[in-house]
Amino acid sequence: MLGSHARHVPDHLKSRARLPSVTVKAAEQLWHDNFYRSHPFASYYPNPADFQEHFRRTQLTSFHEGGWSWWGDARRELMTMLGDVRGKSVLDYGCGSGNLGIYLAFQGAAVNGFDLSSEGIRIAQRAVEQYGVDAEFQVMDAEHLTYADQSFDLAVGFGVLHHVIKYPGASAQLMSVMKPGARALFHETLWDNPFINLARRFTMKDEEAGDARLTAAALREFGRNFSHVNLHRRHLLYMFKRLVKIEPLTLAAPVRPRPLWKFVQSADRVLMAAGLSRWCGEVIVELVR
């Protein structure tokens, strides 16, 4: 395995970073175990087709098209960047309760996933047994992966780097389990724009979940030993979609587009073309082994 090295820790986590890493991880694990305990099997429907439709509406449908979360635009783009996963070995990195990995297994991938939360893994493994897909999920520490070196064609994660970036050995461990030329793709939020950060004060919850506030510089530092680090920045004015409350919905309800937000997204493209992309609030992180 490659050796670890010191890396940047965001200011708001420096006090935590002074604690032994095992203490920080234990606190983060406890928070996520409690979260999954209170949301058991929330999106694992008895019918696998319903699960896949729920995943598409929640994770892969653009907000302006009526998506059930704020993140569908960038996550759908990330999945397009992944390409055809049939027959490929895919690591669901920081898998939580396994939704992304299970979805990819339905697309034909051979999936392994890990997470620090035993409760999340329990839910994910139950879904594997329920649906009979080619996937395995294990409790594992991002600084101490037990997979064989050069195991995976692809690694992927939604909203996970803001948890692991504060652990110095995580980047080297990720790189060691990827095959030469393999790619890792992650969707994250960025904290380089003070105006977007101000809006987040009204929408962010659960400050004790162990989240780091990611910057482009911190992400480049995380990926500095990879052959390529590409940051695909997305969304300026469109980030204010976070101020829109998304009501709970059911699969029986039709997806309802939000035409105003399509206009806002179009305005964003003009602003980004004018050279303002460095102030974007979301990013697709692409790391190449």
Residue spans per domain, the chain: 11-288
Report the C-alpha gap between 148 and 152 in whole angstroms. 9
Task: Give the mean model confidence (pLDDT) for residues 175-188.
Answer: 98
Is pLDDT of 200 > 70? no
Which one, of 78, 17, 5, lies nearest residue 225 by Cα?
5
Task: Give the mean model confidence (pLDDT) for residues 267-284.
Answer: 94
Winning range, highest mean pLDDT, from 13-22, 66-75, 211-220:
66-75
How is residue 4 written in tokens?
């670890």
200 and 213 Cβ atoms separated by less than 8 Å: no
Q: Taking the complete model, does pTM exceed 0.85, yes or no?
A: yes
pLDDT grade for 25, boundaries at 50, 70 and 90: confident
Task: Give the mean model confidence (pLDDT) for residues 71-100.
Answer: 97
Label residues 162-178 b or e (16+ Cβ within 10 Å = b).
bbbbbbebbbbbbbbbb
pLDDT for 17: 43
**Chain-wide mean pLDDT for the chain?**
88
- CATH class name, domain 11-288: alpha beta
Number of H helices and E strands in the chain, helices first, is 11, 7
Burial of 206 (0-12, 13-18, 19+ CB in 10 A): exposed
Widest distance between CA atoms in the chain: 51
